[in-house]
Amino acid sequence: MKLLRYGPPGQEKPGLLDAAGTIRDLSGVLPDFSGDALSAAGLAKLAALDPASLPAVSGNPRLGPPVAHMKNFVCIGLNYADHAAETGAAIPKEPIIFLKSLGALCGPNDDVEIPKNSQKTDWEVELAIVIGTKAKNVSEAEALDYVAGYAVCNDVSEREFQIERGGQWDKGKGCDTFGPLGPWLVTKDEVPDPQDLAMFCEVDGHRYQDGSTRTMIFGVEKVVSYVSQFITLHPGDVITTGTPPGVGMGQKPPVYLKPGQTIRLGIAGLGEQVQKTVAAA
């Protein structure tokens, strides 16, 4: 299933995308995509519905993040061998964990704000894992039992804030609009191998990133298990798993975002995002 949330910011309703590409309203079935709705039992109930029996949503509504009431927006850094190489960083011996501010979360096609005094805002297409069941100290063998599905994330990053302003990655990762998520949550039954997904990112039509989750250093099972040793994961939490090479910082010379540009990114089977860049107020 492809599950989504649509409507104005803060007023999103749950929905699903049917086989014909029509959004179907789920607000009469459940209040939102959070809590038990994302569990295996909750998803099974949704899968048993006939999409044709649900109201069709007309027009082209805004899409919000496909999950609600997230507690943790977790990120894994330098998790692609070829991306680590382009940045000159050593291959991590263990997953690098940092957190995005929950305020960074936004819809997949919402504008991305270039922060005040930013000179080095960058793009990163990433596979996001969506947690469906509370996970604490889980093993790699059982890790996928706690996963509801996957989504596309743009881990927007301000490199000067991240690297040159005191060593804390969070300040370069947590700005408003720095976490576009979606367009939908694709349930894990439709993603037979999350370690074999093509992914891309373009800016103004130029393709900078053209990679695959095959080059991830730590795969989905390892990442979920590892993070759960340190952070209790809750339904609706997201772990975004790193980016392949081709980020702006890795260009020679580096290339960074400025207001008035268009970012387009996607992952095979998980959909695409398109964002306009604007100057932050």
Give the structural domain span for 172.
Answer: 65-279
What is the C-alpha to C-alpha distance for residues 206 and 55, in angstroms, rounded to an integer? 39
From 47, 63, 79, give the residue that closes a domain: 63
Give the pLDDT band of residue 200 (cuts 50, 70, 90): very high
Position 87 pLDDT exceeds 80 = no
Give pLDDT, residue 85. Answer: 78
CATH number at residue 107: 3.90.850.10
Amino acid at the residue 170: D
Q: Check pLDDT > 80 for residue 167.
A: no
Residues 34 and 161 in one domain: no
Residue 220 has pLDDT above 80, yes or no: yes
The pLDDT of residue 198 is above 90: yes
**CB–CB of 275/110 below 8 Å?**
yes
**Domain match, 171 and 46 both:** no
- Could you tell me if 181 and 153 are in contact, meaning their C-beta atoms sit under 8 angstroms apart? yes
- pLDDT tens digits, residue range 57-76? 999 999 999 999 999 999 99
DSSP 250: G
Query: Do 27 and 156 share a structural domain?
Result: no
In contact, 4 and 184? CB cutoff 8 Å: yes
155/230 Cα distance (integer angstroms): 21
Length of the chain in terms of residues written = 281
Question: What is the reported pLDDT for 80?
Answer: 92
Residues 112 and 251 in one domain: yes
CB atoms within 10 A of CB 68: 18
Q: Are 140 and 229 in contact (CB under 8 A)?
A: no
The mean pLDDT value for 258-270 works out to 98
Count of structural domains within the chain: 2
Do 231 and 169 sit in the same domain of this protein?
Answer: yes
The pTM score is: 0.96
My answer on whether 109 and 79 are in the same domain is yes
- 145 shares its domain with 199: yes
Asked if the model's pLDDT at residue 168 lies above 90, the reply is: no
Is 70:35 a contact under the CB 8 Å cutoff? Answer: no
Same domain, 32 and 111: no
71 and 173 inside one domain: yes
pLDDT of res. 91: 86
Q: What is the pLDDT of residue 164?
A: 82
Pick from 36, 63, 90: which residue ends a domain? Answer: 63
Burial class (CB in 10 A: 0-12, 13-18, 19+), 280: middle
90 pLDDT band, cuts 50/70/90, is confident
Whether residue 131 sits in one domain with residue 14: no
Write b or e for each residue in 125-147: b if 16 or more Cβ atoms lie within 10 A of its Cβ, otherwise e: bbbbbbbbbebeebeeeebeebb
SS3 (DSSP) at 44: helix
Q: Which of 17, 32, 63 is the last residue of a domain?
A: 63
Q: Contact 210/200 with Cβ under 8 angstroms?
A: yes
pLDDT tens column, 114-166: 999 999 999 999 999 999 999 999 999 999 999 999 999 999 999 999 888 87
> What backbone torsions phi and psi does residue 148 show, to the nearest 5 degrees?
-85, -40
Reading the block at residue 22, the tokens are 């029509």
Same domain, yes or no, for 157 and 169? Answer: yes
Tell me which residue of 68, 218, 71, 225 sits closest to 135, measured CA to CA. Answer: 225
Domain identity same for 116 and 216: yes
